Structures are given as C-alpha cells and as structure tokens.
Amino acid sequence: MRNNVLVRIYRFYLDGFRSMTLGRTLWVLILVKLFVMFVILKLFFFPDFLGRAGDDASKADYVANELVERME
C-alpha cells in the first residue's frame, strides 16, 4: 500500500515535469540563481579564515581570539 502511494506521487510529479514548457525555463532560472547565491557569493564575500590555519589547535586559538575580541 505504501509503495503504491509513493509510486503514484512519483508518477504525478514526473508527468507534470514532462508536460512543462514555461516551467522548465523558470526552473533553470531558479537553479542559476541558487548557483550564484551559494557558489559565486561564497567565493567573493565569505573567505575561509579557518582554512589558513594549519592544525586544529591553531584553528581553536583563532576562534577563541575572535570571540574574545568581539566581546570587548
């Protein structure tokens, strides 16, 4: 019974996506927007500060120092 429901839901969405014309263009726009938001913006606006530190101890020191400095 449960498998039958999942199969029916899957076929419902599959048939809906097959018959889309304008929807495909909109999905492409959505995916491009998500790519820009999460990949391109991360590269330019969110640098990897912890990647510069070598080992776990230096990463922990960096985080501790940043927390202390921001509290003051």
Q: What is the pLDDT of residues 25-58, one digit of tens each?
A: 888 899 999 999 888 888 888 877 777 777 888 8
More reliable by pLDDT, 49 or 14: 14
DSSP code at position 20: -
Q: What is the pLDDT of residues 51-66, one digit of tens each?
A: 777 788 888 888 899 8
Residue 1 has pLDDT above 80, yes or no: no
More reliable by pLDDT, 66 or 2: 66
- Given the structure tokens 């509290």, which residue do they identify? 71
Domain range list for the chain: 2-71
C-alpha–C-alpha distance, residues 58 and 17, integer Å: 50
Global pTM reads: 0.48
C-alpha–C-alpha distance, residues 43 and 37, integer Å: 10
